[in-house]
Amino acid sequence: MAYRDIGEPEPPISALALADWLRIPVQRTHRRALARFDAAEGLIYLGGASLRGGPRLHEALAHELGHAILHRYEAEQDEASASLVGLALMLPRGPFLRDVAELGRDLRALGARHVHCSPRMLETRLAWFDEQAGERFYRFRRFG
């Protein structure tokens, strides 16, 4: 998986920085509504007036990075998988679990440290480590 190649970065992790680390080009565009990984061109188009920054931009870009990683590893492509792989990239296991040990499951405190992640992203990542999560995350374990 990606982090074994690039090392585990420290939070807060920017999806734009992740794209650099993963060597996946991001092309800003005004023409496209949101974000899209183009497998044939090997790049991510990122555009849209709503993506001015903040967690929404990072979440959208992380999702597309998830598509790119699934493509790189020839894994099955679907929207839920892309989101979960993107989430594992934005909130890598080691640093995130260290933060949870320090701050607890307090979304405000975690959000202050992981400033590029929405509360929903943090909640989903927390759920990943619940023993009851079971099948939902099982097939993504190699990604984080």
Residues that bind Zn ion (CB under 5 A): 79, 82
Pairing of strands 26-29, 43-47: parallel
Report the residue number, 37 or 128, with the smaller CB distance to Zn ion.
37
Q: Are 49 and 28 in contact (CB under 8 A)?
A: no
| Closest approach of Zn ion to the CB of residue 101, in Å | 32
Report the residue number, 84 or 91, with the smaller CB distance to Zn ion.
84
Q: Provide the edge-to-edge strand list for the sheet that holds 35-38.
A: 26-29, 43-47, 35-38
Strands (E) located in 13-90: 26-29, 35-38, 43-47
Q: How far apart are CA 39 and CA 50, in angstroms?
A: 24
| Closest approach of Zn ion to the CB of residue 142, in Å | 20
| Closest approach of Zn ion to the CB of residue 67, in Å | 5
| Closest approach of Zn ion to the CB of residue 23, in Å | 20
Report the residue number, 78 or 102, with the smaller CB distance to Zn ion.
78
Report the residue number, 60 or 100, with the smaller CB distance to Zn ion.
60
